[in-house]
A and B are shown apart, each in its own frame.
Chain A
């Protein structure tokens, strides 16, 4: 079996977060070197604060200031920090119960090695030099011998110029593998041939092939060369550039068409060019146009044949 193709697939977006009143106060507080918790109905102090009582489900808004020092309740050593983590040298992930709080906050502890960490050790916040109203305003925690200070200060949560939203960039790194059937199809396309697969049960020819027939649920492996010409079964004229997507690079208007290649039993999708966009029509006969080194046809253009009769392709409309 030929080697299956693989390629990196990166999914990345700068998501936004509307904070709501409680997270807004918490993050703005960090900017001002003030750690806020929230009191629940049974008098517990949650840090980080939440909007709704975990026991009664009531809305909770009673904010209090807790200490910048606290106690490690548990930890795990991170020997190989990844990009975007709080520190770029090995550190301990710690849960810290800040003085006055009843729950622990997850953060990083800057120490030389795991032998320097223990549950119950006292630590304090190391503030970031530049603070913007984000969890990263706490650069990390550091060891700090001090007595526990249980004094809670009520806090109105009101700040000048409060942070109401944050940007939370997310990135996922995948390795995409299209599988055996698609690999065969993609490799054939690189040789400017369209190769589908026939279902042994219903005899339908799938282009691109998926390796199995979605109707019969059986594996397909009989390769069938189709095309190169085909018929436009339906289409739309795209008049807007889609922001944030890769096809934003295509000049508009362009015609996005369903094309039934000769010998295929369902249409694939392609761009029609070489004809004014407003003259594209259902039944138009087209053929692929290749670019040097392209993995797939750049677009399809009219073959010059008479249009296909509607009866010949209406099952695919």
Chain B
């Protein structure tokens, strides 16, 4: 029996900000969930199951927050489960929810991811002291910066490419009312003049620390038929993992990422992603990851990704727009960041992306990665139902 087609009929986000001191974690997730229900014109009673995700518990210090969030998310009397795959969790959470619909376990599923970074300090949470080891590492930036340098060495990319990405994403964010950073007076010069934090990564080439949540309502064909607005249809979805470190690991272009993309394209019948995909929301927490992922995801040949970025192809009006929403560089409630990519891809093919809409977007890719570039989650959504 073929899988049930999966449709996205509701998307909801909070306005992402540095600190939402006015709400509890329950209040934060509730806002996103209510907006997704509102978008789908559904009520709590229409939801059959709830699948939520967030990054490590140390980020808020609430162990198993899903237990306490059951009433805020209307999960009482329904199955509720939590997914955890570090930074990619927002993507893998959506995929677990989608699989429940595809397998006909549930008809309509609420999926949601969140982070309230202001309750703690992610740099602390990622740099716990390990006995007998020299404390050297400082958060994610220090971990990823050497890999960015490796990319520059391998490809000969000019050192301005990172600032081009940051300048683009921050301008895109100005068109997205939910984005955290709205830097009205951003210029390329300002990005390039910002201090080096983890050379070669500059301050303006890093993501902010955000409080926010993102929710989606996923449903089957019957649910999609009742949708008041055009649904986005899932054409392919996959997850892949690999160890944090192993001999032969390619940190610049991890094999798990390549395999994950290849699986999604196979499911979706995509043979030439550069031509067949209209828009991409990819997980770029440090600006150099845009050219790196362009190669890893098959949009450019190895060593050529930076040329797409530099020539403006990934701009909002380019022919392969990337991170129309402003991306992780403009909004980073860590656990939610992957789901925001998936949701923004869905908004594009539904024609609901507002000012950052790509005209005529029919197929869009949502991408997330996490851990030491070791967990990957992606989906491809389309304006039309899948043909097979």
Contacts and interface: CB of A to CB of B under 8 A. Distances in A.
Contacts of A36: none
A314 B154 CA distance: 9
B103 interface: no
Size category of the B interface is 35 or more
Contact of A265 (B134, B137, B198, B247): B247
B136 interface: yes
B119 A271 contact: no
Interface residues of A, number: 71
A178 to B, nearest CB: 6
Given A18-B20, A168-B61, A238-B198, A176 B130 contact: yes
A55 B75 CA distance: 9
B121 A243 contact: yes
Contacts of A23: 24
Interface string A1-22: 0000101110101011111110
Nearest to A237: B199
A215 B137 contact: no
Interface stretch (B144-152, B180-188, B320-328): B144-152
B243 interface: yes
Contacts of A204: 247-248
A13 B120 contact: yes
Given A13-B61, A51-B72, A215 B123 contact: no
A171 to B, nearest CB: 10
A194 B30 CA distance: 53
B44 A13 contact: no
B371 to A, nearest CB: 13
Contact of A13 (B124, B129, B148): B124
B351 interface: no
A27 B88 CA distance: 36
* B contact face: mostly helix, strand, loop, or mixed: loop
Contact of B127 (A199, A202, A215, A245): A245
B138 to A, nearest CB: 4
Nearest to B60: A15
A244 B129 contact: no
Interface string A94-113: 00000000000000000000
Contacts of A269: 136-137
A235 B146 contact: yes
Contact of A57 (B62, B74, B128, B199): B74
A59 B135 CA distance: 46
Given A55-B76, A245-B127, A206 B121 contact: no
Contacts of B131: 5, 7-9, 176, 178
A18 B24 contact: yes
A315 B136 contact: no
A52 B248 contact: no
A52 B30 contact: yes
A164 B118 CA distance: 14
Contacts of A213: 246
A54 B76 contact: yes
Given A18-B22, A247-B138, A266 B127 contact: no
A5 to B, nearest CB: 7
A182 B132 CA distance: 10
Contact of B150 (A17, A178, A271, A317): A317
A205, A246, A282: residue with the most chain B Cβ atoms closer than 10 Å:
A246
Interface string A225-264: 0000000011111111011111100100100111000000
Contacts of A246: 127, 129, 135
A15 B119 CA distance: 6
B197 A243 contact: no
B199 A50 contact: no
Contact of A202 (B201, B247, B252): B247
B244 to A, nearest CB: 8
Interface in B32-79: 44, 58, 60-62, 71-74, 76
Contacts of B128: 9, 11
B58, B131, B142: residue with the most chain A Cβ atoms closer than 10 Å:
B131
A236, A239, A269: residue with the most chain B Cβ atoms closer than 10 Å:
A236
A295 interface: yes
Nearest to B26: A51
A16 B120 CA distance: 7
A89 B21 CA distance: 37
Nearest to B73: A57
A245 B128 CA distance: 7
B24 A19 contact: yes
A57 B22 contact: no
A147 interface: no
Contacts of A242: 123, 127, 138-139, 142
A237 B196 contact: yes
Contacts of A11: 58, 128
B273 interface: no
B269 interface: no
B21 A165 contact: yes
A214 B150 CA distance: 23
A236 B123 contact: no
Nearest to B59: A15
A315 B251 CA distance: 11
Given A23-B24, A214-B243, A244-B124, A237 B198 contact: yes
A62 interface: no
Contacts of B147: 234
Interface of A: 5, 7-9, 11, 13, 15-21, 23, 50-57, 59, 164-165, 168, 170, 176, 178, 182, 186, 199, 202, 204-206, 213-215, 233-240, 242-247, 250, 253, 256-258, 265-266, 269-271, 282, 295-297, 310, 314-315, 317
13 contacts: A9-B130, A52-B26, A53-B71, A54-B76, A57-B72, A202-B247, A234-B146, A239-B197, A245-B127, A256-B198, A270-B134, A282-B149, A297-B134
Pairs of residues from A and B, 8 with the lowest C-beta to C-beta distance, nearest first: A236-B145, A57-B74, A20-B24, A242-B138, A15-B61, A7-B131, A237-B199, A246-B135
Given A18-B21, A168-B61, A314-B154, 8 more contacts: A8-B131, A17-B119, A51-B27, A52-B26, A234-B147, A242-B123, A271-B136, A295-B132
